[in-house]
Every structure is written in structure tokens, then in C-alpha cells.
Amino acid sequence: MMDCVFCKIINKEIPAKIAYEDDQVIAFHDINPQAPIHLLIIPKKHIASIMEIDEENGGLLKEIVRVAQNLAKENNIDKKGFRLVVNTGEEGGQTVQHLHFHLLGGRFLTWPPG
């Protein structure tokens, strides 16, 4: 999608520190990290939010979880713990309208979130 910042990262039109990439999924470092490890894992297909996941594209979730598990291991937070977060919609704090999973770790995370 033309005006989507994450599609531009996928298309290499704007730079990002890419941590993982395959034909369906890409992961990169958040530009404004909220924890020592803060990665964004996204489908390459433009899907606006988790509300657009259906029978047809649902397989992507499995791929994203697999990537999250591998990145957690690579960053040595798989055993210590981490958080996988999908902000959704205005009240959910979603600011980029391309589905993304935040992988946060490397410090004690508080609960409940703000």
C-alpha cells in the first residue's frame, strides 16, 4: 500500500534495521524502542489490523509466531520472558495501520500496561 510506512520498509524505500526476513514475514527494530529488545514482526502482505485476519490469511499468524520464537531465542529472552503485543485500533494504541507484533524484552515489564 502506497502510504504505509511498513510497506515502504518491506519495499526497501525507507531504511530499517532488519532482524529477519523471508517471503512472507519481516522483522525489524522499532525506531523508538520501549525495552532493550523491541522488534516489530509483520506480514509482508498489507493487512491493516488483527481484525482483518481470516481463514484465508490466518496461516500468517503461525509464521509470525515461529519468527517470534526464533527471535526470542536469538536474543536470549526465550527463557527469561518477553511480551508479544498487538495494539489494535485507536483505543488500543495502534498508530501504524499495518498489522505488527511488538516483541519486547530484556527488562522486567510491568502489568497492567498504561
The residues that touch Zn ion, with contacts defined as CB under 5 A, are 1, 4, 6-7, 46, 98
How many whole angstroms separate alpha carbon 84 and alpha carbon 99? 13
How many whole angstroms separate alpha carbon 85 and alpha carbon 103? 7
Candidate ranges 59-67, 74-82, 86-94, 105-113; the one touching ligand AMP (CB under 6 A): 86-94
CA Rg value for the chain: 14
Which of 36, 59, 89, 93 is close enough to bind ligand AMP by CB under 6 A?
93
Shortest Cβ 68–ligand AMP spacing (Å): 15
Shortest Cβ 38–ligand AMP spacing (Å): 7
Buried b (16+ CB within 10 A) or exposed e, 51-75: eebeeeeeebeeebeebbeebbeeb
Question: Would you call 100 a catalytic residue per the annotation?
Answer: yes
Alpha helices in the chain (DSSP H): 5-10, 59-74
User: Are 72 and 105 a contacting pair, CB within 8 Å?
Assistant: yes
Shortest Cβ 88–ligand AMP spacing (Å): 8
Residues in 37-66 at the binding interface with ligand AMP, rule: CB under 6 A: 40
By CB under 6 A, name the binding residues for ligand AMP: 5, 14, 16, 30-32, 40, 87, 93-96
Q: Report the catalytic residues.
A: 100
